[in-house]
Structure 1
């Protein structure tokens, strides 16, 4: 176990804090698109019950998001069944007004819907003309929409699933091998971050996969390492920080000061020092 301040293990930082914009994106880009198509279907269905719209996702943490993700995974099958029933009922209701009577058989999958469309053309094409073609196209459109609904909703479910994670343990020392406390440790491109304890050690939860580890502190040159993090496993890294080179400074008021590739005046030197020249990737 990696120990930190007061000899205790430092708090493990979450690999990915829940970002509610994920919910907004799923609602705006996935569910809204599905519901727009459902509303179009409902406008054209006259002899069957309207299809129910998909409820928007409501989640404020990963646990709630996973529950909503499960709901989205279950929705396509129910939506598909309701849509195929409505389309077949509508076709047959309209066909009852013609000498043909009931013409469409029940379907339960996109493949069956397309096969039924072909059968309608083969069996009734010469008799029903444009009406049969419209019925066949309705089944084919329903098949396409079914697959589109599934793709959008399953994609949304995936976006609501927390990323796989592993654990990164490490030590940060100076050039002499002495531990450095209070050093910022970041996973580049992630919200995962922590600081080292008095013993220079740290531990944090991080997304699985190849991750770039960025370490920096005032007075030291930043350092980066790449570590492969396996899901539900611990990886370790040892990092060394070298002291930053001192640049020459003249203290005469108004004289320029050379440092870090910048030209500043004494009037701004305190502001520059205050920034600490921290660089983040």
Structure 2
């Protein structure tokens, strides 16, 4: 596991809107300020960077197909009644572009969404009923009596410390319907974590810290990169079975891992 840093997101430099911390993770206040700046610059999903949208479109199609497979299996087993809705929960929906695409692919799915701040929900509120929007940090903000056939996290795992991530995965597993799946799409895969690689990375972080403190190149501590082995271990610790993972052919080599209830 290694720390990594960001200077911008969605084409927006962080120095344009917020205090940047090299040593502390971006918090909900940081994201709320970021989304305010994003909505000031962009009027809708189609204004977001084209390369990012193309990447998310490929990921959404893959995710939709995986959700179809889970729903078909659960309907066959009787976990989902023939006339009952299939429920899907998105953790950390961000601007909601993936959710918009999923609803286009799967219009009959009952989609629930979560985001730490109300600010980021501006566009998504047009598509999702208020009673299916949960604001806050999971699992505390989720209704305890609702079960989901699929729960997914898309590019949010990087900002969760390891101990917290295991706890979140455990709690989310308990909110899956029997046979349900949790899927994590990660944009922060660490290819390898050798001793030499870790040493070189530590030197790079030291140089970045000096540049940050001198005001030459200010960067925000963004989170952690993890290896495939670490992701599989976290899912196993959280109690998931039938764990699988792989790499998506989406132009960004997005890593995915899923486990069953």
Same fold (TM > 0.5): no
TM (norm. structure 1) is 0.22
> Which has more radius of gyration?
1
Relative contact order (alpha carbons < 8 A, sep ≥ 6): 1 or 2 greater? Answer: 2
